[in-house]
Amino acid sequence: MSEFQIKKTPKDYDVCIVGSGAGGGMAAYILANAGIKVVLLEAGPLYDPAKNVTQMKWPWESPRRGASTMYRNFGDFDAAYGGWELEGEPYTRKDGTKFDWFRSRMLGGRTNHWGRISLRFGPKDFKRKNIDGLGDNWPIGYEDVAPYYDKIDQLIGIFGSKENLPNDPDSIFLPPPKPRLHELFIKEAGTALNIPVIPSRLSILTKPINKDRGACFFCAQCNRGCTVHADFSSSSVLVNPALKTGNVDVIPNAMVREVNTNSAGKATGVSFVNKDDKQEYTVNAKVVVLAASACESARLLLNSKSTQFPNGLANSSGVVGKYLHDSTGADMGGILPKLVGRKRYNEDGVGGMHVYTPWWLENKKLDFPRGYHIEYGGGMGMPGYGYGFGMQGTNGKYPGRDGKQKEAGGYGASLKDDYRYFYGASFGMSGRGESIAMEDNYCEIDPNTVDKYGIPVLRFHYKWTDHEVKQAKHMKETFAEIIDTMGGVVTYGKDGPENNYGLAAPGRIIHEVGTTRMGDDPKKSVVNKFNQAHEVKNLFVVDGGPFVSQADKNPTWTILALSMRASEYIIGELKKQNI
């Protein structure tokens, strides 16, 4: 007998979901609540911020004072396990590509530490080709998604303000927190420049919405996960309630190898390796839902080759992996001299900005298509590793407490006082914009490389175009204008054409989407308008993969809305016995 065996999971399910982030969590929640038997596979361990606690901890409770490690790229207190590189799970790049891929292997995926910025796409965002002739339109419009945005607002909770903006639709909002001091200065500057600065839109509960989740107690640490579940993460808000229905089995540490199919060309379930016992398993289900993240789901499809699907599953079009696109990003920040020596008080607030700037300009008057929003940071945050670095670049530029200009750098009591004096006077801003989805930006299977489970890995090919570079240039000009108007002094982010105006490498903003795009034409798209594979009717993709374009909005709220919509469609199709 062979030493190598593939074990079959004893139970058969209605639906097998791969991945427990925003898309997978939402599918599990909707399907389980409809009485459907679900198996949810997650490549990482179980996680609950109420048990795996880093919230309300002090910097000295980490020996590295919160610095990042290979296991937590966003810092020792951050909720996300994983990061840009995972041990034994490489990815590769070709043709000089600089693409970075952030992966979080844990229940809830990347929703455990994300910024909670929860923006609806607007009517124009679904039909951009009609406006500028670039890229493609979505096969659906805002009116198709709006009812689901409404349901998600109420199910999950989001704060913000009613603004009636044409392409930044209002959610059903909880009240927002008041701006912090530096945010008032930003707002003042924005108003003078005709740049809107409005309350941010974050999925954090400023008021309780049900008995299961507490309200925010303003510790500014959403990225650490919330012990009272006052912010949205898929693990706390979707998967755990789904488990309570009794209709969901979660298999953690299950790294899915491929989607299995039968001779009729239907998906029958998936094969996976269990990271704990290192054994190979299969699990059978009537429907397979991929939600492993845009690139990971594309990888799964491309690795699911058979005689029937020699090009990878659901990939006769050859589109799987193509049209990969991330948000653009560029940053600038500085010091606000009027804030030095400021009075101390608890300024934590919610985990993130209290104000932001939605896209406000007309592209007709600009030399680039699409727009960006601006995120703001600053204030008297909790010091962590890196606090105080580079004082020699600050204390020689501004007069100290005694009004005298001193020599940069230094040591001793006078230096010690400089750290107090400048504390809380710095701020920063980041542009997050829409790039054009390009067929030639893609991930594919690297023909030469496998990961430690023997699964062929992804290879990335990605080039920014002039559109994105010009957008970054515009961001920098805007930031400099705002900072100047505030009376601030730039300390970082002065970039020029030599480095594409500081335009972040693709992948760095962690909004990568588009690899299994949605469309009406099976020759040009992977899934239909219900996230259902054109070629395999019982196969769905509900992560960021189906995005045709990503807007200048963070993708999570739309992933959630589309996953909810697809899940309701699955319920209907199962009832009608169509799948």
Partner 1 sequence: MDRRKYLKTLAVGSLGATALLQGCETPKQEVAKTPAFTIDRTPDELAREQKLLSETFFDEHEMKTIRMLVDIIIPKDDVSGSASEAKVPEFIEFIVKDMPRHQTPMRGGLKWLDIQCMKRFNADFASCSSSQQIEMVDEIAFPEKAKPEMKQGVAFFNLMRDLTATGFFTSEIGIKDLGYAGNKPNQWDGVPQDVLDQYGLKYDERALAESVKFDS
Reduced to 3 states, what is the DSSP secondary structure of residue 255?
strand
Taking the least distance from each CB to partner 1, the nearer of 349 and 519 is: 349
For the bound state, the minimum distance from the C-beta of residue 226 to partner 1, rounded and expressed in Å, comes to 11
CA angle 209, 197, 555 (to 5 degrees): 55
We find the least distance from the C-beta atom of residue 184 to partner 1, in angstroms, to be: 5
Select 8 or 207, whichever has its Cβ closest to partner 1.
207
Least distance in Å: CB of 256 to partner 1?
21
> Please, what is the Cα angle at 223 between 85 and 173, to 5 degrees?
130
Does 420 sit near partner 1 (CB under 8 A)? yes
Nearest residue (CB) to partner 1, 24 versus 177: 177
Q: Is 219 in the site for partner 1 (CB under 8 A)?
A: yes
Residue placing its CB nearer to partner 1 in the complex, 35 or 388 = 388
**Residues in 15-34 at the binding interface with partner 1, rule: CB under 8 A:** none
Q: In whole angstroms, how close is the CB of 207 to partner 1 at the nearest point?
A: 7
- Given 272, 423, 427, 547, the residue binding partner 1 (CB under 8 A): 423
State the nearest-atom distance from the C-beta of 230 to partner 1, in Å.
10
Binding mask 172-201 for partner 1 (x = CB under 8 A): --xxxxxxxx--x---x----------x--
- Interaction residues for partner 1, span 306-365 (CB under 8 A): 338, 342-350
Q: Is 313 left (phi over 0), alpha (psi -120 to 50) or beta?
A: beta
CA distance 84 to 268: 32
| Residue type, position 309, single letter | F
From the list 154, 217, 262, 572, which residue makes contact with partner 1 (rule: CB under 8 A)?
217
Q: Which is nearer to partner 1, 55 or 531 (CB)?
A: 55
Residue 173's CB is within 10 A of a number of other CB atoms, namely 17
Residues 6+ apart with CB under 8 A from 317: 522, 523, 524, 525, 526, 534
Closest alpha carbon to 254 in 304, 300, 311: 300
Using CB under 8 A, pick the residue from 104, 227, 236, 549 that binds partner 1.
227
When the beta carbons of 235 and 550 are compared against partner 1, the nearer one is 235
Amino acid at 364: K
Rounded to 10 degrees, the C-alpha dihedral 154/155/156/159 comes to: 10
Footprint (CB under 8 A) of partner 1, residues 536-565? none
Interface residue with partner 1 among 419, 453, 492, 569 (CB under 8 A) is 419
Cβ neighbours of 421 (radius 10 Å): 19
DSSP string, 514-534: -TT-B-S-TTT-SB-TTSBBS
Residue 258 tokens read as: 């491929």
Nearest Cα residue to 180 out of 352, 431, 358: 352
Interhelix angle 22-33/556-575, rounded to 10 degrees, is 30
Is residue 386 close enough to count as binding partner 1 by CB under 8 A? Answer: yes
Q: What is the contact mask toward partner 1 in residues 489 to 528, using x (rule: CB under 8 A)?
A: ----------------------------------------
Contact 55, 219 (CB under 8 A): yes
Instruction: Quote the least distance from Cβ 123 to partner 1, whole Å.
Output: 24
Residues 108-167 that bind partner 1 (CB under 8 A): 159, 161
Check: CB of residue 128 under 8 Å from CB of residue 370: yes
CB 551 within 8 A of CB 434: yes
Restricted to residues 31-70, the positions that interact with partner 1 (CB under 8 A) are 45, 52-67, 69
Q: Which residues on adjacent β-strands are paired with residue 518?
A: 527
Contact 4, 454 (CB under 8 A): no
CB nearer to partner 1: give 161 or 262. Answer: 161
Site for partner 1 in 443-482 (CB under 8 A): none
d(CA 498, CA 513): 28
Stretch binding partner 1 (CB under 8 A), from 129-137, 220-228, 238-246, 293-301: 220-228
- Dig out the tokens for 494 from the structure: 């002065």
User: Residues in contact with partner 1, total (CB under 8 A)?
Assistant: 83
Which of residues 157 and 433 has its CB atom nearest to partner 1 in the complex?
A: 157
User: CB of residue 279 vs partner 1: minimum separation in angstroms?
Assistant: 19
> SS3 for 360-417, per residue?
CCCHHHCCCCCCEEEEEEECCCCCCCCCCCCHHHCCCCCCCCCCCCCCCCCCHHHHHH
Between 200 and 435, whose beta carbon lies closer to partner 1? 200
- CA pair distance 474, 480, nearest whole angstrom: 10
The minimum distance between CB 488 and partner 1, in angstroms, equals 14
User: What residues from 274 to 313 belong to the interface with partner 1 (CB under 8 A)?
Assistant: none
To partner 1, the closest distance from the beta carbon of 480 in angstroms equals 23
Please select the residue that binds partner 1; options are 391, 480, 490, 505, rule is CB under 8 A: 391
Give the nearest distance from C-beta 418 to partner 1 in angstroms: 9
Query: Which is nearer to partner 1, 351 or 433 (by Cβ)?
Result: 351
Q: Residue 405 corresponds to which tokens in the numbers above? A: 């200009």
Residue 399 touches partner 1, criterion: CB under 8 A? no
Q: For CA atoms 117, 125, 289, 279, give the dihedral sign.
A: negative
- Asked whether position 4 contacts partner 1 by CB under 8 A, the answer is no
Q: Segment contacting partner 1 (CB under 8 A): 111-119, 242-250, 303-311, 408-416?
A: 408-416
Stretch that binds partner 1, among 213-221, 295-303, 441-449, 458-466 (CB under 8 A): 213-221
Q: Measured from the CB of residue 141, what is the shortest distance to partner 1 in angstroms?
A: 29
Tell me which DSSP letter residue 315 carries: -
**Helix or strand holding residue 243 (H, E):** helix 240-244
Min separation Cβ 388 and partner 1, Å: 3
Q: Is the CB of residue 37 less than 8 Å from the CB of residue 102?
A: no
Residue 416 touches partner 1, criterion: CB under 8 A: yes
Minimum distance, C-beta of residue 385 to partner 1, in the bound complex (Å): 6
Does the protein bind partner 1 through residue 383 (CB under 8 A)? yes
Query: Which helix or strand (DSSP H or E) is residue 303 part of?
Result: helix 294-303
